[in-house]
Chains A and B, each alone.
Chain A
Amino acid sequence: GAVVSQHPSRVICKSGTSVKIECRSLDFQATTMFWYRQFPKQSLMLMATSNEGSKATYEQGVEKDKFLINHASLTLSTLTVTSAHPEDSSFYICSAGGPQGLGTDTQYFGPGTRLTVL
């Protein structure tokens, strides 16, 4: 149990286009999902916390209008990178708060989406 999927796993796009990444909790409901960014050989940096039915909470330095987050249901959160530029190229990973019984403090991570902006 506690499986999180992400789609797409890899995307290559031209500079200026927008890219949407989906994060789904497959076998549990997640009221909270988290979006991270990881540059090569670096740690995970939290971008925002996404709560179902409410606005996301962004970390300092993360542009809300650049990284649009929608958490429309208990099993789906989306991250849209708007007008992507090469410096946005990174590994984007989502996680979902674990279900009851498996430890509500636990975050279960999706497989990640590797974004390359040309």
Chain B
Amino acid sequence: GQQVMQIPQYQHVQEGEDFTTYCNSSTTLSNIQWYKQRPGGHPVFLIQLVKSGEVKKQKRLTFQFGEAKKNSSLHITATQTTDVGTYFCAGRVTGGGNKLTFGTGTQLKVEL
């Protein structure tokens, strides 16, 4: 079945450092979404990417969708303590309806 892997699994950074998480799917995706889950909380939708090679920005966050639509990345510039949480990508396969397959997640910790 479809697998969506993320690396790294964990990342500790000092506040102000940059952070990147990478998402790789075993199959081509129709679109990919990114979610953030704070400790003890539920996933919160961040963004959706649909087009091959698409790049979107939200303030300090930059999201990319690979040309082959099998990988994606999330980059955070100058991390802040409020960025702490686990970041999940979630992919939708063509013909799979609305079903999302979540990635393994990257847990980010930011230290002062």
Contacts and interface: CB of A to CB of B under 8 A. Distances in A.
A32 B98 contact: yes
A25 interface: no
B42 A103 contact: no
Interface of B: 1, 31, 33, 35, 41-45, 48, 88, 92, 97-105, 107
Interface of A: 32, 34, 36, 41-46, 49, 60, 93, 97, 103, 105-112
Contacts of B97: 49
A6 to B, nearest CB: 9
Given A36-B102, A42-B104, A105-B33, 12 more contacts: A32-B98, A43-B88, A43-B105, A44-B102, A45-B102, A46-B101, A105-B31, A105-B98, A106-B45, A107-B45, A109-B44, A112-B41
B110 to A, nearest CB: 18
Contacts of A108: 45
**Shortest 7 CB-CB distances between A and B: which pairs?**
A44-B102, A109-B42, A43-B102, A112-B42, A109-B43, A111-B42, A43-B105
Contact of B33 (A36, A43, A97, A106): A106
B45 A49 contact: no
26 contacts: A32-B98, A34-B100, A36-B102, A42-B104, A42-B105, A43-B103, A43-B104, A43-B105, A44-B88, A44-B102, A93-B42, A97-B98, A105-B31, A105-B48, A105-B92, A106-B33, A106-B45, A107-B33, A107-B100, A108-B45, A109-B35, A109-B43, A109-B45, A111-B42, A112-B41, A112-B42
